[in-house]
Structure 1
Amino acid sequence: MRERLRGRMADQESSQSDNKEMKTITTPWGSYQVPASGFFASVYDPTSMERAHLEQIERGSMGLSLGKFPDLLWMIVPESRPIIAELVRKELDESIKYNLHLGKVSNFELAYGIYVELLGPALKNISRSHDLAVRCLAVIQRTLVEANEIADGDPLVLEIMNRVEAEELLGLVNDLTPDLVALYRRIKSSR
């Protein structure tokens, strides 16, 4: 990969020999001097990479989308990535083993894993895990507002918010994100 990248950069450099302004870019394979107005300078520009990342968060989906809830978790709660990866790995293994087409990760399993491994412990130790709890709750709220009610809403209500209420943590969640609790109560009363 490194040699191919160097070769492409050299080709670009020779085709733009009249452009004397160079820029140093950093890739996973090393640092290189490339023409400042060229393709590689724009692709590896930290500002454009950050802009692309922020655009994905605003859209609520990644290039390789796993669905609204897992995408938002992946982008906003990096601590959730091992949980998501394990569920994706399980889906891949089962698809190979049983000769099936790939399906989406189960939002019920994901919501359960997020509550048991991240959100529940964070709420129970809020003084040490405030940021994690707030990010998880923000993803839950956004998903409930924007996503498909049955595919995304039901798992979040059943696997997370009902557990929060059962463990008597709803008051704490209300202190952190009152809009989420109001939304949860509206959803719950409409069923």
Structure 2
Amino acid sequence: MSADDESEFIEVEVWWGSYRVPRNSLMGKSLASWDPEADRREQVESGRMTWSLGRLADLLWMLVPESREFIVEAAEDRLGAALRSGSFLLPVGEWSMAVRMNTHLIERQVSAESPDLDLLTRCLGVIRRLIVEDTGDFFWDMFEMEVFSRLGTGEHLRLVERLDPELARVRRAIAARGR
């Protein structure tokens, strides 16, 4: 192959690897300037994945990898239901995702002898972000009922407040407004 032939190919990076493709091919033209890290950062900042599973599931998937197993189960449930009913696909239910997050991650950690404080902090950060970005009461109501009311008012709630003081402040401010 001559040097001229070599210039007809480019290296493209995609999240699953690097490939050498013809420069003028569809893949070469469309992916030549794609930056997977910039794409990932943009998705995390927006809180939405390209293939969205719903706000909570998207953020958990991106920021709390420990949640991925139960997110896959929830997505499989949605896919199966759509297949059986002949309906269109819907995102994973926010409320069921909050219940799964609480039972699989938060409750287990706050009850553990040696809780994974990093995992808890990331979960609480997701909760705070959704409550702050929510223009209505949906996420506030959901997390108050499915997470905070189940933690009670004792040591578990104090641990949450210590790990994410900003979330504690936001919760107090919203409660003071009577939301």
TM-score range relative to shorter protein? 0.7 to 0.9
1:160 aligns with 2:140: no
Q: Identity of aligned pairs, percent?
A: 34
Q: TM-score, normalised by structure 1?
A: 0.74
Matching residue within 67, 85, 88 for 2:54:
67
**Residues 66, 128 of structure 1: CA spacing in aligned structure 2 closer, same or farther, 3 A cutoff?**
same
Which one-letter code corresponds to 1:77 in the other structure? V
Q: Determine the structure 2 residue equivalent to 1:119.
A: 106
1:19 aligns with 2:7: yes
Task: Output the aligned Cα RMSD.
Answer: 3.0
Q: TM-score, normalised by structure 2?
A: 0.78
| 1:61-100 deviations in Å (ceiling 9; x for gaps) | 1111122221111100011111111112112222222333
Distance, in Å, in 1 between the alignment partners of 2:40 and 2:98 is 24
Q: Determine the structure 2 residue equivalent to 1:4.
A: none
Runs (5+) with no aligned partner, structure 1: 1-13
Q: Determine the structure 2 residue equivalent to 1:182.
A: 169
What aligned pairs does 1:34-183 form with structure 2 within 5 A after superposition?
39=29, 42-43=33-34, 48-125=35-112, 127-166=114-153, 168-183=155-170
Cα shift at 1:32: 4.5
Distance, in Å, in 1 between the alignment partners of 2:157 and 2:134 is 22
**Residues 162, 188 of structure 1: CA spacing in aligned structure 2 closer, same or farther, 3 A cutoff?**
farther
Which one-letter code corresponds to 1:111 in the other structure? A
**Residues 104, 151 of structure 1: CA spacing in aligned structure 2 closer, same or farther, 3 A cutoff?**
farther
Whether the aligned pair in 1 keeps the contact of 2:54 and 2:93 (CA below 8 Å) is no
Cα shift at 1:167: 6.0
- The total of aligned residue pairs comes to 171
| 1:23-71 deviations in Å (ceiling 9; x for gaps) | 586874x7654689x655544xxxx211110111111111111222211
Q: Determine the structure 2 residue equivalent to 1:10.
A: none
Give secondary structure in 2 for the equivalent of 1:169: helix
